Amino acid sequence: MSFVPPFCPSSTCAAHEKPERRWFKCNGHYKPKCRTVRVPRFRCLRCGRGFSRQTFRHDYRDHKPHANAATYLHLVSGVGLRQTARLVGLDVHSVQGKLRKMSRTCRRLHDNLSISLRADEFLLDEEETYENSSIRTVTMPVVMERRTWFVVATTAGPIRRLARAGSGRRRRQERDERKHGRRADTSRKCVRTTLEDLRRRLPDGARIQLYSDLKSSYVTLAKAVFGDAVAHLRTPGRAARNTANPLFPINTTLAMTRDNNGRLRRKSWLVSKKAVRLVEQMQLFVCYRNYVRTRFNSDPPGETPGRLLGLIERDLQAHEVLGWSQQWGRRSIHPTSLDGRRTHDMAVAS
């Protein structure tokens, strides 16, 4: 199917916001070394800018685009960076670069697809890991929808967890703080960030139920973000972690994060050297969990959390997640569009 550019990629062009009929013309093609098919070129009749189909693609300027889907699936299947590089035939630094680029696309795709959530029950919890060394602990709060298990938001940041006074671990922490300064504790900031992310995706005036454990800061943060629009239901963290536990969906999801993301495994060589790299990895996992992977093994094929929540009409494949660039917000091409005509705004309108 022939590609049709939906708008001019130049943000200063009149054909970017409101493209009229016949705003572009075909301008030949080129054949890149990394592809077996020709890539069509175009020229905007309003600003004169030349561009191609690749301008709208995630793999724009990639040297080995054929490795993107495999790299993505390995990284969300518990495989580390170096082993992924061996499996797909790339240098480890190339895999790191692809991870950062995939993270940006996945974050933007998630934002574009979940701009409005029609749900009223959500769960909040934090997962602890570390960066570089086990004495440098990191928190990773997660907010998810209760019925569909849709992961709404997550982030990561440093926290200060001191060991028992006089222990060897405590002495190591004290030496580390003398060398690098007192470690910041950003737990409240990270939790608030995820709650504010959830609030932005809810309709105006929406009222929600928030489930969490008994951590005292959750009460004040939920009240600060949602005011009287939240009913906060709390469950002891030591309650039996079975299906009767209201926190069962998020407890299971956090266990899945350790299975699907090698850098979250305890006592692993794959640990993140910086918390920001963990955030990048989690952007890949959020898209995989919400739009690619079936919610439960017992569900019919394709019943992803995103589909169950009505955000997308079907499940996505890895090459579709990494298909069209998502840098233009809701004007970006929808991942299920084959010819580029359908944008996120058009998908909502239909």
Q: Which long-range CB contacts under 8 A does 90-97 form with residues at least 24 apart?
A: 90/64, 94/64, 95/71
Please indicate, yes or no, whether residues 119 and 36 belong to a single structural domain of this protein: no
Residue that is last in its domain, among 41, 56, 71: 56
Residue 155 lies in a domain: yes
Per-residue pLDDT tens digits for 255-295: 999 999 999 998 888 999 999 999 999 999 999 999 999 99
Please indicate, yes or no, whether residues 49 and 123 belong to a single structural domain of this protein: no
Q: Report H helices in 48-205.
A: 68-75, 81-88, 92-113, 168-180, 187-200
Please indicate, yes or no, whether residues 42 and 118 belong to a single structural domain of this protein: no
The Cα–Cα gap between 198 and 211 comes to 14
- Number of folded domains in the chain? 2
**Amino acid letter for position 62:** D
Residue 343 lies in a domain: no
Please indicate, yes or no, whether residues 46 and 126 belong to a single structural domain of this protein: no
Please indicate, yes or no, whether residues 2 and 119 belong to a single structural domain of this protein: no
Please indicate, yes or no, whether residues 186 and 47 belong to a single structural domain of this protein: no
Range of the domain at 34: 1-56
The Cα–Cα gap between 208 and 35 comes to 49
Please indicate, yes or no, whether residues 142 and 280 belong to a single structural domain of this protein: yes
Per-residue pLDDT tens digits for 207-258: 999 999 999 999 999 999 999 999 999 999 889 999 999 999 999 999 999 9
Please indicate, yes or no, whether residues 147 and 50 belong to a single structural domain of this protein: no
Give the mean pLDDT of the chain: 95
The Cα–Cα gap between 127 and 129 comes to 7
Whether the full predicted model's pTM is greater than 0.85, yes or no, is yes
Please indicate, yes or no, whether residues 138 and 49 belong to a single structural domain of this protein: no
Residue 67 lies in a domain: no
Q: Tokens for 290?
A: 């919400």
Please indicate, yes or no, whether residues 162 and 303 belong to a single structural domain of this protein: yes
CATH number reported for the structural domain that contains residue 147 in this entry: 3.30.420.10
Residue 243 lies in a domain: yes
Please indicate, yes or no, whether residues 146 and 268 belong to a single structural domain of this protein: yes
Residue that is last in its domain, among 56, 75, 94: 56
Q: Tokens for 321?
A: 């997640």
Residue that is last in its domain, among 56, 84, 99: 56
The Cα–Cα gap between 334 and 41 comes to 21
